[in-house]
């Protein structure tokens, strides 16, 4: 037979109530500490992911602002320069086509034409392009209507006169084209409409 005293040492039922409560209290403390550490770890991971995402967003925004600054930094200067180009064009348009110019005046006119051409080429090198919308449909995003022209024979909303050319820089509007728009011209039949008067 075996001696029961051997098993009494390892049998948990034989522990005194004080020893069992101490062990369960220690286990509870360890479980609480583990739960706190897991929660803290989860919170720190969440904060880290948010910080990384915020840093990435800041980097993207900074890159976009840097690109915009490089692309559109000359916007103010370009707007001012457009006035010079407008004045050159007005000077050329003020000369009657059938005018008999002397040698000096012809040289002056040729110089103004070359200056205007150089200005337009310089603007295009900096991605500033002219909007010459004659004959196009009016577009609120690129044109500014100054007046309506009745009975032009053109479809309503067609640009029939350009008072001032517009410009875009890259993909943004620098200055809208100032235009006159047809009114009371050709009527367009709505889709699916059949003309029964023919």
Q: DSSP per residue over the chain, as a string?
A: ---HHHHHTT-GGGS-HHHHHHHHHHHHHHHHHHHHHHHHHHHHHHHHHHHHHHHHHHHHHHHHHHHHHHHHTTHHHHHHHHHHHHHHHHHHHTS-TT----HHHHHHHHHHHHHHHHHHHHHHHTTEEEE--TTSBP-TTTEEEEEEEES-SSBTTBEEEEEE-EEEETTEEEEPEEEEEEES-BPPPPTT------
Q: Is the pTM of this model over 0.85?
A: no
pLDDT band at 15 (very low <50, low <70, confident <90, very high): low
Q: What are phi and psi of 129, to 5 degrees?
A: -115, 150
pLDDT higher than 80, residue 51: yes
Cβ contacts of residue 91 below 8 Å, gap of 6+? Answer: 112
Burial of 98 (0-12, 13-18, 19+ CB in 10 A): exposed
pLDDT higher than 60, residue 196: no
Give the largest Cα separation in the chain, rounded: 141
Each residue's pLDDT tens digit, 179-189: 999 987 655 44
What is the Cα–Cα distance from 146 to 84, expressed in whole angstroms? 22
Instruction: Classify domain 129-187 at the CATH superfamily level.
Output: Head domain of nucleotide exchange factor GrpE (2.30.22.10)
Each residue's pLDDT tens digit, 68-100: 887 778 888 888 899 999 999 999 988 888 878
Mean pLDDT of the chain: 82
């Amino acid at each position: 037979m075996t001696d029961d005293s051997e098993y009494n040492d390892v049998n948990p039922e034989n522990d005194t109530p004080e020893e069992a409560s101490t062990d369960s209290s220690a286990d509870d403390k360890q479980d609480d500490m583990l739960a706190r550490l897991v929660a803290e770890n989860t919170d720190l991971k969440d904060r880290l992911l948010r910080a990384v995402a915020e840093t990435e967003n800041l980097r993207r925004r900074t890159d976009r602002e840097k690109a915009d600054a490089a692309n559109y930094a000359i916007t103010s200067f370009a707007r001012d320069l457009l006035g010079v180009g407008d004045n050159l064009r007005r000077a050329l348009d003020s000369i009657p086509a059938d005018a008999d110019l002397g040698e000096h005046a012809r040289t002056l006119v040729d110089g103004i034409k070359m200056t205007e051409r150089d200005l337009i080429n310089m603007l295009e090198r900096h991605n500033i392009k002219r909007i010459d919308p004659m004959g196009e449909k009016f577009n609120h995003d690129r044109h500014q209507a100054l007046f309506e022209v009745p009975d032009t024979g053109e479809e309503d909303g067609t640009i029939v006169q350009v008072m001032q050319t517009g410009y875009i820089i890259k993909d943004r509007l620098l200055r809208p084209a100032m235009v006159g728009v047809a009114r009371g011209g050709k009527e367009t039949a709505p889709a699916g409409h059949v003309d029964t008067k023919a």
